[in-house]
Amino acid sequence: MHRGKVRDLYALTESTLLMVASDRISAYDHVLATPIPDKGVVLTQLSLWWFDQLADLLPHHIVSTDLPPGAPAAWAGRSVVVERLEMVPVECVARGYLAGSGVTAYERSGEVCGVRLPAGLVEGSALPDPVFTPTTKAALGNHDEPMTYAEVVAQVGPELAELLRSITLEVYQRGREVAAANGILVADTKVEIGRRPDGMLVLADEVLTPDSSRFWPIESWSPGGPQPSYDKQYVRDWLVSPASGWDPASGEPPPPLPDEVVAATRARYVEAYERLTGTTFG
């Protein structure tokens, strides 16, 4: 039915879909030519673990983790049967630290998505309180654009906007607390929310993974610049380094990733899974 940057959706019944997480990786609005081995399995298994940790906050969309008849055996561990939902047209993002595009926005205006932040922050700084910094949901190949809360209200109405904000911040706060107990700072995270036919809001897609979040090791956190991370920032950094020879503004597709970048990225995803869940991957 649909191919996203990472996941493929297949129709099963009128009420269910099969969601398969590939090993594709995206950066700078491009899906890279080089996959990261086991990435889809890590994302799927880590999301399942987090859905359990968050079950008291909001229902999730998982119906079954069993492969349906006829599905390739290679999809085991990376596919789930999920509910069909109407996805809300907003990327719900929570930030607890200044990072990524938030740094650029803050340095330009002192704000992120219309939220005024204190003066004197630097890249990697902890924010006084987590903030809701939504973006548009861009089509594949386009860039998500920052939204103010007022723009979210204008798009979905005040009642749903307030629910989206409160759910996103609650999920982030729970994730932050659980991750911190396992040696990881969650700098920010994106939450996907859908709606059942009866109107109930449901967590969907993935949650608190290295693809949807910035994970930093607590022991090396040091505000004032980029932080070591367990997410795909390693790939982003290589792509804009002299070693890649690629300019994101060129319009050209990114180059293939070298073997050492692939191996190091896979290791980061696996380490994030193992530190968070306390179990060995594979």
CATH numbers and ranges of domains, the chain: 86-236 (3.30.470.20)
Does residue 278 register a pLDDT over 90? yes
Q: What is the mean pLDDT of residues 129-143?
A: 83
Integer-rounded Cα radius of gyration of the chain: 18
Q: What is the mean pLDDT of residues 191-199?
A: 97
In 3D, which of 43, 27, 31 has the Cα closest to residue 3? Answer: 31
Percent of the chain with pLDDT over 90: 93
Q: What is the mean pLDDT of residues 67-87?
A: 96
Question: Residue 145 and residue 85: Cα distance in Å, rounded?
Answer: 23
Give Cα 155 distance to the centre of its chain: 22
The model carries a pTM of 0.94
pLDDT value at position 29?
A: 86
Indicate the pLDDT class of residue 142, thresholds 50, 70 and 90: low
pLDDT value at position 137?
A: 86
Residues in the chain: 282
Question: Residue 134 and residue 88: Cα distance in Å, rounded?
Answer: 12
Question: Residue 278 and residue 226: Cα distance in Å, rounded?
Answer: 26
Question: pLDDT of 210-242, one tens digit each?
Answer: 999 999 999 999 999 999 999 888 899 999 999
In 3D, which of 24, 80, 14, 70 has the Cα closest to residue 49? Answer: 80
pLDDT value at position 177?
A: 98
Question: Residue 175 and residue 276: Cα distance in Å, rounded?
Answer: 10
**Residue 104 burial (10 A CB sphere; 0-12, 13-18, 19+):** exposed
**Ramachandran angles phi, psi of 55, nearest 5°:** -60, -30
Indicate the pLDDT class of residue 141, thresholds 50, 70 and 90: low
Indicate the pLDDT class of residue 140, thresholds 50, 70 and 90: low
Question: pLDDT of 15-67, one tens digit each?
Answer: 999 999 999 999 988 999 999 999 999 999 999 999 999 999 999 999 999 99
> HEC string of the chain?
CEECCCEEEEECCCCEEEEEECCCCEECCEECCCCCCCHHHHHHHHHHHHHHHCCCCCCECEEECCCCCCCCHHHCCCEEEEECCEECCEEEEEEEECCCHHHHHHHHHCEECCEECCCCCCCCCEEEEEEECCEECCCCCCCCCECCHHHHHHHHCHHHHHHHHHHHHHHHHHHHHHHHCCCEEEEEEEEEEEECCCCCEEEECCCCCCCCEEEEEHHHCCCCCCCCCCCCHHHHHHHCCCCCCCCHHHCCCCCCCCHHHHHHHHHHHHHHHHHHHCCCCC
Does residue 120 register a pLDDT over 80? yes
Q: If you average pLDDT over every residue of the chain, what do you get?
A: 95
Question: Residue 118 and residue 99: Cα distance in Å, rounded?
Answer: 15
Indicate the pLDDT class of residue 282, thresholds 50, 70 and 90: confident
β-bridge mates for residue 186, sequence order:
215
Percent of the chain with pLDDT over 70: 98
pLDDT value at position 139?
A: 65
Q: What is the mean pLDDT of residues 170-186?
A: 98
